[in-house]
Structure 1
Amino acid sequence: MKETASQRKKDKVLRTSMYVAVLIGLAGFLIFSILAAITFGNADLSLKDVYSVIAYKLFHIKSLSAYAEGAVHDVVWLIRLPRVLLALAVGMALSVCGVVMQAIVQNPLADPYVLGISSGASLGATLAIMLGIGSFLGGNSVGITAFIGAMITSFAVIAIANMGGKATSAKLILAGMAVSAVCSAFSNFVIYITNDKNAATEVMKWSMGSLAGASWTRVGVMLPVTLVCVAVFWTQYRNLNLMLLGDDVSITLGTDLHRLRTFYLIVASVMIGFAVYCAGVIGFVGLVIPHVVRILFGTDHRKLLPLSAFLGASFLIWCDVACRVILKNSEMPIGVLVSIIGAPCFIYLLVRKSYGFGGAR
């Protein structure tokens, strides 16, 4: 008995050590990804030029004052770095929301858009592009109306799921499917009746996702929102673990998942809304990344959330790099590339007989 207890203690220490090592490794890889991704782009800049601009802006080194302005400065500081940091924030938000959504609805196929939030955002963007709704908001009208659409959809799903009793995971999924169908129908109706091919093309491009509109303003909004929401979810890892066991078990343990589920959904919707506002619709990140992490480290959300955050951020950074370099003098929509990568990966996970939701083998 003593030997068994001692062996369990050793195994626990080993697993903890592996987790810490991987977490540090992923954090280091994320930093490397940021520094490396800045060097890629259509403009042919040397490593010295790129890092000299960053060094001057961060530390105001007098010997590098030549990089305080000019074309090189604008490309690195105003275009590439904000884009990389926005990819970091959006990738982190989508992957963490995927983890949370899968716990909320107890469904391995859940992702940040499973509850119709993507369709709501698309409807908002469609109304802005096709009908000019929100034009008084200026250049950000499409993103802002998409954010509003995502938030309205989220609250509508919550309201519908709570009709006739408390919301459950099954009711949330069904409500999300219904709201998503309605939003998609209205979007298609608006596109049909306006019969504006140029605007329809713009809607299509927006729905494919892009980080080309990155700016320090958007980074200043998206990054703090993401970090705060991820921190909130990390403090709730025990309740997220409990959600995987179901409502009946949680009630016996004295925890009401109904209020928590609603609160988590609202927080996740805020993250998704801002992600849609900044980058359009990008799928599969919140679906595949959590599953990859679960295969390696199981279901404990204390480990799952930070690992998914780092891996999702790095993944989207490199996807954006690929989008910028695959086509010469052009750019592939990041939503298209992520789907090309994510769909086969998810199919592989589905056909793995040894893999089940939560990493069960």
Structure 2
Amino acid sequence: MDKQKRLAKPILWAIILFVGLIVSILTAITFGNADLSISDVYSVIGYELFHFEQFQAFATGATHDIVWLIRFPRVILALTIGMGLSVCGVVMQSVVKNPLADPYILGISSGASFGATLAILFGIGSVFGANAVGVMAFIGALITSLLVLLLANLGGRTNLTKIILSGLAVSAICSAFSNFVIYIANDKSATVQIMFWLMGSMASAKWHIIAVVLPIMLVGTLIFWSQYRQLNVMLLGDDTAITLGMNTQQLRRWYIILSSLMVGFAVYAAGVIGFVGLVIPHAVRLVFGSDHKYVIPFSALVGSIFVIWADVMSRIVLRNSEMPIGILISLIGAPCFIFLMIRHTHRAGGK
């Protein structure tokens, strides 16, 4: 009976969040610069998803293209990016045992952006074909994450301060190299494209991009969810994990590689979007505790809903213009990071 009571709350929240995600998707599709009626929007969706004959008139035309080729992919991409970055934030915080870790703060997003910059400006990685930018972003994210851990372990045992400083240093180096590459390339059209990566946006959402990124995020999330016991043990420290017979070093490497893959393709699809992996896991832990059995799936759901509505806000906050979503989320995430840093200092025995 007690077990049923313990499971009742997570199941109820899972249902609420899943319904909230569906409602968010259906509502976000109705926002846009084009003046379309809600019935027309849902008629297009109804035809494309279910091929209802009564919606045959919406199979082609301007309304169809706006809804199915612009708005709907944008919402699904926001869902995908929110899920991936949130889950990567959860994993990073467990892997490095640092509550302030996320792909943005640890410099992984900057590394992915640098890899994408090299692919766009110089065609590096063209051997990978249409997904060259995504693969180069992944390689940049992987190298950056490994470099951060290497620097943090120099001169003795790693700690919170060393990890944060290593991430900031590596992020600054990647940003400097990206700016240098943009400067020497002297290509205005490419520079505009690079600005997309640096500020983040869902504007380039296309179904063929989602077909690549969404499976990676879903599979990555499911893999990490299946590893919830190992992630829970990691929070207890390496000594405890070794006592329980778990090889933390090997698992840590695999987790970093998979996280880098997810972050790299997130940057490939939507540019650099910071603080999602920091704010969402903390918000989820406030409600559900630190058990990764619940933190990972609920972070995926909450992160998806958050980024969907952040994208909607980025489209409507400025009249006749669009604010890059990376800027909007940073305006929210940076104060949260400062609050969490101060809170952690107090808990660690600061004044």
- The equivalent position to 1:235 in structure 2, one of 209, 217, 226, is 226
Checking the alignment, whether the CA contact within 8 Å between 1:250 and 1:257 is kept in structure 2 is yes
1:218 maps to 2:209: yes
- CA–CA separation in structure 1 for the residues paired with 2:347 and 2:271: 31
- CA–CA separation in structure 1 for the residues paired with 2:98 and 2:150: 20
> Structure 1 274/353 Cα, relative in aligned 2: closer, same or farther at 3 Å?
closer
Write the letter of the residue equivalent to 2:207: W
1:186 maps to 2:187: no
**1:222 Cα offset (Å):** 1.2
Aligned twin of 1:19: 10
Checking the alignment, whether the CA contact within 8 Å between 2:197 and 2:267 is kept in structure 1 is no
Percent sequence identity is 61
- CA–CA separation in structure 2 for the residues paired with 1:141 and 1:324: 29
Checking the alignment, whether the CA contact within 8 Å between 2:135 and 2:264 is kept in structure 1 is no
- Give the count of matched residue pairs: 347
1:307 maps to 2:301: no
**1:16 Cα offset (Å):** 2.4
> Structure 1 356/322 Cα, relative in aligned 2: closer, same or farther at 3 Å?
farther
- CA–CA separation in structure 1 for the residues paired with 2:295 and 2:155: 34
**1:159 Cα offset (Å):** 7.2
1:63 maps to 2:54: yes
Checking the alignment, whether the CA contact within 8 Å between 1:111 and 1:287 is kept in structure 2 is yes
**1:199 Cα offset (Å):** 4.9
**1:353 Cα offset (Å):** 8.2
1:328 maps to 2:336: no
- The equivalent position to 1:269 in structure 2, one of 235, 260, 264, is 260
Write the letter of the residue equivalent to 2:176: A
Checking the alignment, whether the CA contact within 8 Å between 2:80 and 2:213 is kept in structure 1 is yes
Q: Deviations over 1:30-64 (max 9, x none)?
A: 01101111011001111110111111111111121
1:146 maps to 2:146: no
TM normalised by structure 2 equals: 0.88
- CA–CA separation in structure 1 for the residues paired with 2:13 and 2:347: 22
Aligned twin of 1:49: 40
Q: Secondary structure at the match of 1:127?
A: helix
- The equivalent position to 2:235 in structure 1, one of 210, 230, 244, is 244
- CA–CA separation in structure 2 for the residues paired with 1:338 and 1:290: 15
**1:117 Cα offset (Å):** 1.8
- The equivalent position to 1:39 in structure 2, one of 9, 15, 30, is 30
Checking the alignment, whether the CA contact within 8 Å between 2:104 and 2:275 is kept in structure 1 is no
> Structure 1 356/209 Cα, relative in aligned 2: closer, same or farther at 3 Å?
farther
Where structure 1 has 5 or more consecutive residues not aligned to the other structure, the ranges are 1-8
Greater displacement, 321-330 / 235-244: 321-330
- CA–CA separation in structure 2 for the residues paired with 1:329 and 1:78: 20
Matches within 5 A, 1:152-163: 152-154=143-145
Matches within 5 A, 1:72-91: 72-91=63-82
Aligned twin of 1:30: 21
**1:163 Cα offset (Å):** 9.1
TM normalised by structure 1 equals: 0.85
Where structure 2 has 5 or more consecutive residues not aligned to the other structure, the ranges are none
Write the letter of the residue equivalent to 1:283: G
- CA–CA separation in structure 1 for the residues paired with 2:300 and 2:281: 9
**1:184 Cα offset (Å):** 2.8
Q: Which has the larger radius of gyration?
A: 1
Aligned twin of 1:291: 282
Checking the alignment, whether the CA contact within 8 Å between 1:105 and 1:173 is kept in structure 2 is no
**1:224 Cα offset (Å):** 1.0
> Structure 1 172/257 Cα, relative in aligned 2: closer, same or farther at 3 Å?
farther
